[in-house]
Chain A
């Protein structure tokens, strides 16, 4: 989980945000991916192709920031 947390894409870092797309940059189709929303909640899924673009589609329930913090403390 720690690795996922570190590698998760973050939005709002430049001109373009859209973290679900950014999360699959440099990844292959079907690769596991993750990104965070503005509240720090974690979205975990896999890279899927929409037309010609890879996008991270969540398949696990959203991991709330609160529970991530608790995991980190433990």
Chain B
């Protein structure tokens, strides 16, 4: 039995138990049912967010996708990771640039160093001679190094003149304040509610990291590759676009210049953010380098300590989780990216 089903059955048992107790005149504070509920559902803990990452954090009334009125945290982030002094690098300057001074690119589940050698080898890598991201005379990589170039290339419909470019945008294009990026707002239920059916991840993204960076939906890798572009990431699998500012497409904590996430005291993977349904998102591996083997289709499961929670996919998999097990804010109330 998968953990989602187990979670739903347990929740169902709690609800049934509560209804029976009510029907029989029993007290709703009578132990068993509620404690089971508490093992599955944990309130969102806003103290986990880095204070410096937040523009504001308020509790507001919201309507959830199941039609219920509830309370949500309205979290506005400053768009710059609170645990770092700088973001990038993304594209290598030349085909000799080392991995240390370059970013990353993912393909088929693997996060590669997008260094000069990788860029020079793309025609072989993709088995297509049309790839030519560098000037063969100067060895310089074609990089979208101005705001105009970034905005012409970091879109779904890439301008043809930017085919064969390594695409990057500077975080400072979208903020006049040093140490900040594009501000954005997310709404998360203060207490998550399991949904009767998992829901899809849409344009609103996946969630938000405790360091104030948006966890975005899957990057449209096929569209990017069809234009013979690479939308290079930094070591944290983050990059900038004009719509979302600096955002993540994967979790790569502890690699290169990307800060790590501490394991929990019992050796379980550490949490680094919340999904939009209010369930916490943990790293992929525990302290022994092992991955959970009972994840559901959304990449979630439950245990007695953490309740229901997600584990992110690998850094090269272009995803964190597969879907939302809990209800999210109703579509017409979601902040627009």
Interface residues of A (CB under 8 A from B): 11-21, 29-30, 35-39, 41, 43, 45-46, 48-51, 53, 55, 57-62
Contact = CB atoms under 8 A, between A and B. Distances in A.
Contact of A53 (B108, B220, B290): B220
Interface of B: 107-110, 125-128, 130, 200-203, 217-218, 220-222, 225-226, 290-293, 295-297, 299, 313-314, 316-319, 321-323
A41 B314 CA distance: 13
12 contacts: A12-B108, A14-B127, A14-B128, A16-B222, A18-B108, A20-B109, A20-B218, A38-B107, A38-B110, A58-B317, A60-B293, A61-B291
Contact of B109 (A12, A29, A35, A60): A35
A57 B322 contact: yes
A33 B316 CA distance: 17
Which of A14, A20, A46 has the most chain B CB atoms closer than 10 A to its own CB? A20
B108 A21 contact: no
A51 B109 contact: no
A53 B218 CA distance: 9
B108 A37 contact: yes
Contacts, number: 110
B225 A18 contact: yes
Contacts of A20: 108-109, 218, 221, 317-319
B293 to A, nearest CB: 6
A50 B201 contact: yes
Contacts of A50: 200-202, 217-218, 319
Contacts of B202: 50-51
Nearest to A55: B218
